[in-house]
Structure 1
């Protein structure tokens, strides 16, 4: 067993283990159940593969003929399950691996299980379906691994997991890996594990210590242009750009494709086959940029991914860490870049604070900075010192016919044709002091008090629709059928361009002159009164009983005689 694993690790160039891998392979824990806190990117897949190997192989040096599965590996998503299977395929050289993964052909899975397998990698729903149909034999199971158990509970797989664990033999090892250990995970461990050993590895800090965080403040309306310059400046071998919606993914992927970037898009609307093709294009180098939503990118591991761009900020700090953790994995260096328009400045600070991360706040790379970086890369390219691969006669003809200046100009022109031109970006305005507003413009909204408008509601509509912050908004005045908003001068053009002349709820907006000053009411008014009609003084009330008017009002009329 040791020789099989040692040979596999040597072929892959592994000479040291990560902290989580060292912890779970401790010889004293060889037969114990484990409850492990480990983040994605900490090397846990290889860790649990090494940990359960003695349980599966014992002292044998080869795998027996496949029969009933010896181990189950359960992961929350298709992508993660397929990734785990690829990792174990080289580690368990010679073993038969089968899948039970949602979205794949179930008939192929039944045939593979019938032929026999040493390890089955599965998603919870599909595995539970095989168990109910009787198409998988669990009688020989020696080890069960639940990978990212907290995420499986979040996705609603609690009942499936309990069903799967209850169907497995009682005499087995159960390894439970989870980024966090909430009460639901503790209850699962207490129910289905035997004296589990708790292992807690501070993987999040180590992982994100290998990630450099940058925050680029950009002018409203120039987010996509800033993404272009960031990609061009770094020229990474693999980058993933996160957006919050499918529409944003499709729009940004189309723009980057038009600019000449080799791009694939990942969103929930794609079929499993389309997602697989997109990821394979990233793995084999046909694409260098993946534009994705959070859901589509969950659990994927792309080799060589050294740049993560948050084109749109996530909703929470956990998502920020999850996105950024796609790079800087297993000791490799990575970079995470936040694109921050004025409307998201405060949100970016909050997210970084909640995640306990620090970022360098800098302007995005300018067009000149990109060109300077291109020049440095050209001069440092090792191809200059390579003598092979060029026809000596052609080299002699070129140097004899053209001057060095001609050759250099031609080289630069040919190289520029293959590179995407950088964008000219506007330098964002520095945040102003709260007491200083400065030059401004007025805009008129065709909604006022008749549509129940109030300053708080107008501020929210204007900031969301115009891509500005409350610091860019000055006075707000509301009339019966219109409202007037004051916008800072250096944000006015981009604000109106972002609105397109309309805001939410069908509200139209247009530039306007300063609204007339509303007259200030004198004193306090209790409500509208009729003009030129003084109030009648109340008659004095007698000391005892009701007044004469009251008595007359309540007195019974006397009958009249005919």
Structure 2
């Protein structure tokens, strides 16, 4: 694979952003070492760039097939992500697929496969059934705000879309809700196969988990960092009362 070098500095300049925030940096580092990453962070915290930059790292600029797909719960979110990707200035083709306008417009755009497709579950499933998307070449799947897709009743459509991809190598899931589980249809259900990048409320730094953090009903405020290593989660806590004592918990 011949990966084209994309300058993060140039991308940030195109987006009028001075620096990545810590959650975005943590996401990039996590995806360098792990194939299955879940980003849990509040709305407006920069999750779009937190998954687009890692996706870009794995795009082969010489490959003329679709290599990554981003599944979102709404047309508005799809268009927003598409605009961010175009503004990044990579020169890569991107196509946005969603209901509410003529499918034929998208079909024409898909004749020459884009490097990245962004779309809603129903419209993507329709294109796959019609053979408009080169599913065998897609290796990276992003489910942005996947919990909302499930809440809106798109589970069947999302499952249909993901099941069509037989060569998935990387999965990135994002959610603004911390009480989430990995849906069955995503695959790689064993918790040790996932790394969680968590930006908890009132915290300035993101935390990486190599097992499911929800097994820990946290009533304390993490004060320093969380280390991912061979399925063991080590959390450093300070008491919610503001005291400075620390306790290390391992699982």
TM-score of the aligned structures, taking structure 2 as reference length: 0.72
- Partner in structure 2 of residue 198 of structure 1: 196
Q: Once the two structures are superposed, what CA deviation does each residue of 1:319-338 show, in whole Å capped at 9, x if it has no partner? A: xxxxxxxxxxxxxxxxxxxx
Q: Which residue of 129, 136, 140 corresponds with 1:139?
A: 136
Deviating beyond 6 angstroms after TM superposition, the runs of 4 or more aligned structure 1 residues are: none
What secondary structure does 1:145 align onto? Answer: strand
Structure 1's 104 and 172: CA in aligned 2 closer, same or farther, altered over 3 A?
farther
Partner secondary structure for residue 182 of structure 2: helix
Q: CA deviation at 1:71?
A: 0.6
- Alignment match of 2:95 (pick from 84, 95, 98): 98
After superposition, the C-alpha distances for 1:343-395 in whole angstroms (9 at most, x for unaligned) are xxxxxxxxxxxxxxxxxxxxxxxxxxxxxxxxxxxxxxxxxxxxxxxxxxxxx
Matched with 1:188 is: 184
Match of 1:446 in 2: none
Q: Encode CA deviations 1:87-129: one digit per residue, 9 max, x unaligned.
A: 0112252010112111122001011101221100100110011
After superposition, the Cα gap between the structure-2 partners of 1:145 and 1:111, relative to the gap in structure 1 and judged at 3 Å, is same
Alignment correspondent of 1:47 = 50
Q: Distance in 2 between matches of 1:103 and 1:138?
A: 23
> Does residue 1:68 correspond to 2:68, yes or no?
no
Q: What RMSD, in angstroms, separates the aligned Cα atoms of the two structures?
A: 2.3
For 1:14, the equivalent position in structure 2 comes to 17
Secondary structure at the aligned position of 1:25 is classed as: helix
Judging changes above 3 Å, is the alpha-carbon distance between structure 1 residues 5 and 74 closer, same or farther for their aligned structure 2 residues? same
**What is the aligned partner in structure 2 of residue 179 from structure 1?**
176
- Report 1:86-235 matches (<5 A): 86-182=83-179, 185-188=181-184, 191-192=187-188, 195-202=193-200, 204-205=201-202
| Larger RCO of the pair (alpha carbons < 8 Å, separation 6+) | 2
**Conserved in 2, the CA contact under 8 Å of 1:30 and 1:51?**
no
Tell me which protein shows more helix as a share of its residues.
Answer: 1
Distance 1:54 1:80 in 2: 22
C-alpha displacement of 1:2: 4.3
User: In 2, distance between residues paired with 1:4 and 1:189?
Assistant: 34
Deviations 1:14-67 (A, max 9, x none): 33212320111116734421012122201010110111222114xxxxx336x3
Q: 2: CA distance between counterparts of 1:27 and 1:186?
A: 17
**In the aligned structure 1, how far is the partner of 2:30 from the partner of 2:183?**
27
Alignment correspondent of 2:32? 29
In structure 2, C-alpha distance between the alignment counterparts of 1:129 and 1:45, rounded to whole Å: 25
Give the secondary-structure state (helix, strand or coil) at the position aligned to 1:136. coil
* 8 Å Cα contact 1:19/1:201 also seen in 2: no
- Which is higher, the Rg of structure 1 or of structure 2? 1
Describe the shift of the 1:28–1:206 C-alpha distance in structure 2 as closer, same or farther (beyond 3 A): closer
| Secondary structure in structure 2 of the residue aligned to 1:186 | coil
Shift in CA distance, 192/161, structure 1 to aligned 2, threshold 3 Å: farther
Deviation at 1:150, TM superposition (A): 0.7
Name the one with the larger strand percent: 2
3-state secondary structure, aligned to 2:9: helix
Question: Contact 1:4–1:93 at 8 Å: present in 2 too?
Answer: no
**What is the aligned partner in structure 1 of residue 59 from structure 2?**
56
Does structure 2 retain, via aligned residues, the 8 Å contact 1:150–1:181? no
1:219-270 CA-partner distances (Å, limit 9, x unpaired): xxxxxxxxxxxxxxxxxxxxxxxxxxxxxxxxxxxxxxxxxxxxxxxxxxxx
Cα deviation 1:181-211 (Å, max 9, x = unaligned): 545x334377356711111112x4469xxxx
What is the deviation of 1:148? Answer: 0.5
Deviation at 1:85, TM superposition (A): 0.3
Is the contact made by 1:4 and 1:92 (CA closer than 8 Å) also made in structure 2?
Answer: no
